[in-house]
Structure 1
Amino acid sequence: MNLIEIDNLKTYYRTEAGDVAAADGVSLSVSPNETLGLVGESGSGKTTVAKSIIRLLPDNGDIVSGTVKYNGDDITEMSMKDVQRKIRWKEISMIPQNAMNGFDPVHTVGAQIIEAIRAHEDDTTKANARSRAKELFEDLGLDAERIDDYPHQFSGGMAQRAMVALALAVNPAVVLADEPTTALDVVIQDRILESISELQDEYDTAMIMITHDMSVVSETCDTIAVMYGGRVVEVGDADTIIKNPRHPYTLGLRNAFPDITADSQELISIPGTPPNLVDPGEGCRFAPRCPFAEERCWEETPQPEEYDDGLVVECHRADEAEMLREEASKRDTWKQAAEEREQAVTDGGPDE
């Protein structure tokens, strides 16, 4: 049985311009000990999915429909009191994007970890909680005595490790890691990712890794789900997604992923901008930026379809994967698509 089962999740944000469909029909699952990578550009809906899982949405955010089940229980049907007491941190914890903002500046880092442990384990003494906090610091390569320091006394990398310690403090079954290495240099990134992986094995923890960086998911994840415009457009085994994706958007992301084993590689960006999710309309949301879009791509929303390689893809042309991979590796393919899009706007085409 899956630990987390998300089915047709729709989470919208109320704005003056209208409802933003940040997560629009998302279905995903996470098994025990699995690491699922959620990858995509900013605004694709990754963080919204994670916050929906633990009902940590801002005041203007609502789960409109769908289910989020943890061990068979639907979190969306629970009272907020039960979610806070029984789910958050105890069963599902979160590493936020900015670790410095995740800690209360007026209390020591250790005090906050100790408080989290004792809040969810009534029979744990303060001394035992302190001992566990020190052990977690040591596991993450931090001086155990630094638990008595305040957040402002930590560097960015240290604060991120301390936040990992807080997330693992009560041995949760699942950790939601939202861009855990953002704004850190590559050496610190690698150390933190290695520490997270080691601690996952030690504490028997599943994880959802949220990132825009294909290199991060390729290094840490068992399964990868690619999000675009509030939808999961491709999901499958990490190795298959990295080496042989089927969706043009995933191919575009891969073009921007440097490969040190390649003799020569030209990094290619995806032209255009993400869609307006206030009124996304019919059709594939990637169509305005896709070099392979056909008329039906503008008119018919593709539905998830599973292929022999295990990938589940939302794309009308996913069965032409070999051709898509070859053509997507060429800069001229994307350049021509951008030029055609600009001409379509000028002529009053679908984007106007």
Structure 2
Amino acid sequence: MSNKDTKTKDIAINNLTVDYITKLGTLTAVENISFEVLEGKSIGVVGESGSGKSTLGLALIKSLPHNGIVRSGNIKINDKDISKIQEKEFDEVYRWKEIAMIFQGSMNSLDPVFSIEKQMKEILKVHRIKDGGTYDSAIKKALSAVGLDPEKTTKRYPHELSGGMKQRIVIANSLLLEPSILIADEPTTALDVITQAQIIGLLKKMKDTKKMKIIIITHDLSLIPSLVDKVMIMYAGQAVEISDIKTILDNPLHPYTQALIKSIPHINSAKKPIQFILGNTPNLLNIKKGCRFRDRCPHAFGMCENDPPDIHIESNIVKCWLYDKEIKVTKN
């Protein structure tokens, strides 16, 4: 099992760029992404389909498909650049032991012909954890941590469990080797609203009690305010805004962030219709110079044909020409 000192390790991503090599050319799915997550903290990575958020998660755990490569940047756990180490070392030292991932749709990956206990023991065996009586205790500890009764759960099969229970099993699997960093990619997909809230509550409890560092990837900004400390909004492979969750919700700066928040349905939506984001995301195989949101942006102007810089405004970092002081003077 992992040592206690792993709980103090932080993760920092610096200027990470990830490409996919395709028959049609090179597609840059993630471009110059930087953020860090400290002990007991969490960040939400939010964006629509194709924004690069899942690719980012796969890169962090070195599980990119065969045509995916980290072109530049680094991923550091406690100052160790894991993007540069060999696969064997990553498997032996880091994967599932220091950093684990709940993959999108992973509750459907549970093997229907094996009991939950057998599948959890297999994880421990694959990662060369010697039994010595520790398998049962590790499984019991992981299941208890996600609110499941080990006595009632271990002998059951996936088809005997509800969607919410299966998702809890998947989370328990990720906790078996006691990682300090957890990436959760759309962990509430296909679950009902009540179960979604329970899963988010469970992740928050893990963050607060175990001091885990959690990176949650989602398309639904409304799911995560109670869980995350910071939010990174992604669009077409880039981070267009980063700030603490309260600032993002109360004072969003980037037009895309503003549009995302306006598209969240509320209980009184009948009085205030949901707003939609018109247009389509750009083709990442043929990216034009300039702001990638400009063709859908109601505030676009001439300067948007140039690549926008990252502008720091109090606790926000926003990639938008609207907040460049010199440009605002010129416009006026």
One fold, TM greater than 0.5? yes
Partner residue in 1 for 2:101: 94
**Counterpart contact for 2:29–2:51, Cα < 8 Å:** yes
| Match status 1:318 vs 2:309 | no
**Counterpart contact for 1:2–1:30, Cα < 8 Å:** no
Partner residue in 2 for 1:304: 310
Partner residue in 1 for 2:330: none
1:319, CA displacement in angstroms? 5.9
2:137 paired residue among 113, 131, 142? 131
1:119, CA displacement in angstroms? 5.0
Partner residue in 2 for 1:228: 235
Distance 1:2 1:269, change over 3 A: farther
Partner residue in 2 for 1:338: none
Which runs of structure 2 are paired with 1:141-156 in the superposition (5 Å)? 141-144=147-150, 145-156=152-163
CA-to-aligned-CA distance 1:191-236 (integer Å, 9 cap, x gap):
1111121122222211000000011122211000000000000001
CA-to-aligned-CA distance 1:233-284 (integer Å, 9 cap, x gap):
0001111011111000000000012344899432101011111111212100
Partner residue in 2 for 1:195: 202
Give secondary structure in 2 for the equivalent of 1:272.
coil
Partner residue in 2 for 1:112: 119
- Partners in 1 of 2:9 and 2:168 — Cα distance? 28
Give secondary structure in 1 for the equivalent of 2:226.
helix
- Partners in 2 of 1:318 and 1:101 — Cα distance? 44
2:18 paired residue among 1, 4, 11? 11
Distance 1:26 1:95, change over 3 A: same
Larger relative contact order (CA 8 Å, sep ≥ 6):
2
**Counterpart contact for 2:9–2:180, Cα < 8 Å:** no
Paired positions, count? 318
Distance 1:139 1:67, change over 3 A: closer
Give secondary structure in 2 for the equivalent of 1:27.
strand
- Partners in 1 of 2:128 and 2:229 — Cα distance? 31
Give secondary structure in 2 for the equivalent of 1:51.
helix
**Counterpart contact for 1:2–1:29, Cα < 8 Å:** no
Give secondary structure in 2 for the equivalent of 1:26.
strand
1:141, CA displacement in angstroms? 3.0
CA-to-aligned-CA distance 1:293-346 (integer Å, 9 cap, x gap):
111112x111111112x10010000369xxxxxxxxxxxxxxxxxxxxxxxxxx
Structure 2 gaps, min length 5: 1-7, 326-332
**Counterpart contact for 1:282–1:301, Cα < 8 Å:** yes
Partner residue in 2 for 1:242: 249
**Counterpart contact for 1:96–1:102, Cα < 8 Å:** no
| Match status 1:33 vs 2:31 | no
Give secondary structure in 2 for the equivalent of 1:172.
coil
Give secondary structure in 2 for the equivalent of 1:29.
strand
**Counterpart contact for 2:53–2:234, Cα < 8 Å:** yes
1:70, CA displacement in angstroms? 1.1
Structure 1 gaps, min length 5: 321-352
| Match status 1:181 vs 2:188 | yes
TM-score (norm 2): 0.89
Give secondary structure in 1 for the equivalent of 2:224.
helix
- Partners in 2 of 1:16 and 1:119 — Cα distance? 35
1:14, CA displacement in angstroms? 1.6
Q: Percent identity?
A: 38
Partner letter of residue 69 of structure 2? Answer: D
**Counterpart contact for 2:200–2:224, Cα < 8 Å:** no
Partner residue in 2 for 1:208: 215
- Partners in 2 of 1:225 and 1:315 — Cα distance? 14
TM-score (norm 1): 0.85
Distance 1:69 1:10, change over 3 A: same
Give secondary structure in 2 for the equivalent of 1:219.
coil
- Partners in 1 of 2:22 and 2:182 — Cα distance? 30
